[in-house]
Amino acid sequence: MDPERMVAAGVNTVRMAEFAWDCMEPKRGEFDFSLFDMTIERLGAAGIDTILCTPTAAPPRWLTQEHEEWMRVNSNGNRMTHGSRQHCCTNHPGFRAESERITEAMARHFASNPHVVGWQTDNELFCHIAECYCEACTERFRLWLRDKYRTIQALNCGWGARFWAQTYDAFDQILLPYHDRPTQPNPSHLMDYARFLSDAVCEFQRGQTKILSAAQPRWWLTHNGIFAHIDYWKFSEDLDFLGVDLYPGFVAHEAARYSWAALKCEETRAVSGTFIVPEQQAGAGGQRTFLHETPRPGQMRLWAWQTIAHGADGIFHFRWRTCRFGAEFYWNGILDHDNIPRRRYDEFAQEGAEISRIGSRILGTSLLVKAAVLSDFEQDEAHLTMQLGLPSPSHQRKLAYQELLERHLPIGIVNASDSFEGVDCLIIPSFVMMDEDLAARLRQFVENGGILFATARTATRDRNNHVISKTPPGLLSELFGITVEEFGKLSEDLLTLGDNIPAGAGYEILLPKSASVAARWNETSDSSPHPAPGQAAITLNRAGKGMAIYVGTYLSEENRAALIDVLLSHIPLIPLARASKLTEVTCRRGTNHRLIFALNHEPKETTITGLPVGMELLSGQTCDGTISLPGYGVAVIEPGNSFASQTE
């Protein structure tokens, strides 16, 4: 009955086997793929393709019982035990060999199956745990360091190891960077450990992707992220595209869910271009200590269309039928435990019918991005090595993105390693680390006509995570036309700048060289002596055809609107529409057409104006520039040709 119901709901592909190692190999070397052969064939006969998952996130008990030493070790020295998932260390050579062995067996068995079209590697790598302190991790970290530095003298220099007598005589002396033993570890040691964690998990995945690609070149490969301590720019090099698992129910406040999910989509698109959603929330997800709110009527469909509005080219709702046992028996799917279709199935079928009807107009298009917030794995990790209680790049990235999203501008996330071509303005949120390559590309961006907007502490460290000796912003001083003469943290509400814009937890005193002053620091609220009042807080510097704006504080919830106003006063970005803050508007563009997505994240009806004239594809009705959407409603508008020139 399931294939028929799936087809009726518009399903064309399913995903399976991510935790099925013990089912496929109940005893070492005794493989049984019959359940999957039967299921894949039955689905295929109904016209439904399958993507399989390598089941390495949940190794079977016979394997872990044989090799307790393969289990992860936490920072307290406790070794993990069987009974959950992700308990085996992906850096242990023995477990890697076993992971590649089961991948090889699956790839060989399914290589000729015409209904298997792709694969997902593992499942949510680093979802629960990234750091491991086992012997295998220590040894592999030493090998990684030896490969990077070549000599122990170079490592000592790169880490500034003389501080606290941390110099090493050999790589074998180096341990993993434990926190608070008895105090803080070396920041450069931590930075390299973060890089190692990412490189190591990329290497683990590569062992699987090589096998799968060799077994059947027509298979496409993906993974379901996004989680901490992985440089997904590198990670995605071994994939055809990345995936992101989206559960808006993890966000407590309903009003904030849409920007959270939008940002997740953007972070994925930024490293992968096109992407899919291997897991989209279908019901109330719950485990032992929590239960999400059940999506309200219309929300499940809304969330699915939101991912498409941000560039997704495929969606898998998790899950089809709610499981009746195990740790996720309240992780609710399209169908409940009794397998009876109800409102969520009906909504799912509506979504499927709509995507089937207009999907061909969507495929081949990509998100229009004219204003971008830069993202960089290393900047986020560098902040974590020395947080100082100050706002992180990732936190400021979220605030800047949310502010521009709420203004219905063509906004996106761009990875710092990518091209900046086609983007009109870039926001770099406290990128502490800077090198010649990134500095040169930012300089070229501005000289070619772009607007660059940076916040405090930008370009103050090198790639070794050392503070630079040159006056900040170091390699970008000429571009911004300033030097930073002093910085510090602030007591709450002590300082404001310009028209009483709140300072975001810190201040910098800027000394203009070639820049002009756009805002100065005000007197302190308590009238106490302070060096900042009267000094430059925001500066503007013209370079070539563009402009570099420097803000001597951090983005915060309180100042984000005012600081983004400064940026937008220097760039003529046109909103895609006029609507409430809880209405989301994006544009996907192809070679010859544009699609405007309007999504109402409120439970009540809303009106959107300033839209292009064209056809609303879901209803088949003409759009005259104004549209009313019901609570959690969606519209997809294909404008006339005149709209294209407005969005270039």
Just list the catalytic residues. 124, 279
Residues pairing with 120 in the sheet: 53, 222
| Token code pair at residue 600 | 């109402």
Within 8 A by CB and 6+ apart from 430, the residues are 379, 383, 390, 391, 392, 393, 396, 454, 455, 456, 457, 458, 554
| SS3 of residue 333 by DSSP | coil
Q: Rounded CA gap, 378 and 450, in Å?
A: 24
Cβ-contact 543, 515 below 8 angstroms:
no
Cβ-contact 573, 592 below 8 angstroms:
no
Q: Rounded CA gap, 247 and 361, in Å?
A: 27
Side chain identity, residue 338 = D
Q: Rounded CA gap, 268 and 533, in Å?
A: 42
Q: Rounded CA gap, 140 and 155, in Å?
A: 16
Residue with tokens 């989509």: 265
Cα–Cα nearest to 25, from 63, 51, 53, 52: 63
Alpha helices in 19-178 (DSSP H): 21-24, 34-45, 61-66, 93-110, 135-149, 152-159
Q: Rounded CA gap, 395 and 391, in Å?
A: 6
Helix 560-568 to helix 393-406 angle (10° resolution) is: 70
Residues pairing with 585 in the sheet: 598
